Amino acid sequence: MGKTTKPTQAWCCGLALAAALLAVPAPCWARTVEMVPYPITSVWPTSVRFLRVDRDFPIREKDESAGYVLFDYTDGPKLCRASLELIRATDREGRDATRLAVAIPDLPKRYERMLLDKLAAKMRDDHGPPAPPPRRPEPREVPDAAPPNPKPPTPPPLPLPKPDP
């Protein structure tokens, strides 16, 4: 009875492989997103300058028409690959805006949030307050089928009595 069958061995190997795969930490491909109330034509050069000049991150690749920058996030001696994506958008108030998405898979999300907060502060410093929202057209009054306060019809005047001769 000391023999094991081949299906039992295969099942045990499969179970061991599944447990090993679940034990290995998977890289996090999530990203942190923020909306800034500035048009993408203003945000692009400011973002590249912020990454390359202000933060001194090496830029590996960038494409303005596709709206992305691949760069190396340097955290002390550690070098992490990172990306910044710029997406044309409209904010709640109707202004041209830009959605920024940062991904640094090898670091906790707080690093992405910190980078976006500093980039948004740079936008405010460089460009000042955002443009006022566009004026919304005045809502037109749509007439109802009936007048708003219909007057009841007035009865015709009563004839005056004729005097007797």
State how far Cα 62 lies from the chain centre.
Answer: 20
Please tell me the predicted confidence (pLDDT) of residue 27.
46
Average confidence (pLDDT) over 28-51: 90
Average confidence (pLDDT) over 49-63: 96
Please tell me the predicted confidence (pLDDT) of residue 22.
43
Q: Choose among 38, 123, 115, 108: nearest CA to 69.
A: 115
Asked if pLDDT for residue 48 goes beyond 60, the answer is yes
CATH number of this structure's domain 27-127, picked from the four choices 1.20.120.80, 3.30.200.20, 2.40.50.140, 3.30.530.50: 3.30.530.50
